[in-house]
Amino acid sequence: MTAINHHTSDALLAAYASGNLAQPFALVVAVHVSMCIECRAALLAHQTVGGAVMEAGAQAACSGGLKASILDRLDDEPAPEITYARSSIFPSPVMAALKGKPPRWKSLGMGVRQSILSADDTGSVRLLYIPAGRAMPDHSHSGMELTLVLQGSFSDETGRFGVGDVEVAFDDLEHTPTANVGPACICLAAADAPLRFTSLIPRMLQPIFRI
């Protein structure tokens, strides 16, 4: 595997370690950590510090209402499990989201395809398949978007992203991600708000494609 040059931020790793990261973003972080030794070590450091803080903290009485709320949260969907075996281009957290089945690709036009893994009030996460030389429509963001490369590579106004790299985009970035020459680019992309497309046709199709 080529060297990973674009990593998840320390703030994202801390939020993941504490269980405070929305599920779509948590999946991207779990996949990146499964591929990146550097971020895996940083996550372990956050988990170690968090555990030490909890052990050192003073105990406090827990009211019945608070206890019930905590138990309810324990029933919520857990953060994706991180495992390090990689038998295909889809790491274990992605295969778990796919329930062990192949992606259900749907065409977005011009050879670009997507497979939505989840979409709810916390955001959406999907797989994107972009043939070499093809570009996603020019867009900006209404919130945060994480894009992790699983195969191939893409380039945009901020640089080149290869396998294992994560692009963190906020509402101040307008870009046109384009798949580079070579294998088709397959990405895992999570967002907490709809994208803002520049052109009219992508905006018209946006409700249909749920992107």
pLDDT in tens, 30-68: 999 999 999 999 999 999 975 555 555 555 565 666 556
**Domain CATH code at residue 45:** 1.10.10
Q: State how far the Cα of 170 lies from the Cα of 174, in Å rounded to an integer.
A: 9
Q: How many domains does the chain have?
A: 2
Please compute, for residue 1, the number of CA atoms within 13 A of its CA located in the half-sphere on the CB side.
17
- Convert the pLDDT of each residue in 100-121 to its tens digit: 999 999 999 889 999 999 999 8
Answer whether residue 5 is part of any domain.
no
**Range of 138's domain?**
101-209
User: Residue 155: which pLDDT band, with cuts at 50, 70 and 90?
Assistant: very high
Q: What is the pLDDT of residue 164?
A: 97
Residue 210 tokens read as 């749920």
Domain boundary among 52, 77, 95: 95
User: Residue 17: which pLDDT band, with cuts at 50, 70 and 90?
Assistant: very high
Identify whether residues 108 and 130 lie together within a single domain. Answer: yes
- pTM for this entry: 0.80
Q: What one-character DSSP code corresponds to residue 107?
A: E
